[in-house]
Amino acid sequence: MRKSRRAVVDVLMWNFERGSWQYDVICGLIVAFILLTPRSFFHGDFQQAHRLVQALKSGGSWSGAVQSIEEQRDQSGGSR
C-alpha cells in the first residue's frame, strides 16, 4: 500500500530524473493525450472560458460577465 501511494505521489509531483524510463513513460502519455484527443473534447469549455475572460477584461464584474455570456448563448440559440 505504501509503495503504490509513493508511486502516485511521484507521478503527481513529477519526481523522476530526466532520462529515466519513468520520465519517458510520463512524457509519452502526455504526448499521446495531446495527439489522440479529439478537438471536440475541448471545444465547448474553452470558448465559454474565453468569453468569460473577455467580459471580465472589458471591466465588468464576475456576475455581470456570467450574465453577459448567458445572454449571448440565449441569443445564439445555444445550450449549456
Of 79 and 60, the structure prediction assigns the larger pLDDT to 60
Q: Name the packing angle between helices 62-76 and 43-57 (round to 10°).
A: 130
Rounded to whole angstroms, the Cα distance separating 80 from 78 reads: 7
pLDDT value of position 43: 65
Q: What is the residue extent of each domain of the chain?
A: 2-37, 41-76
Rounded to whole angstroms, the Cα distance separating 21 from 29 reads: 12
Report pLDDT digits (tens) over 19-57. 898 889 989 999 999 898 877 776 666 666 777 777 777
| pLDDT at 64 > cutoff 60 | yes
Percent of the chain topping pLDDT 90: 11
Rounded to whole angstroms, the Cα distance separating 25 from 60 reads: 44
pTM over 0.85? The answer is no
Rounded to whole angstroms, the Cα distance separating 51 from 71 reads: 12
For residue 19, give the H/E element and its range.
none
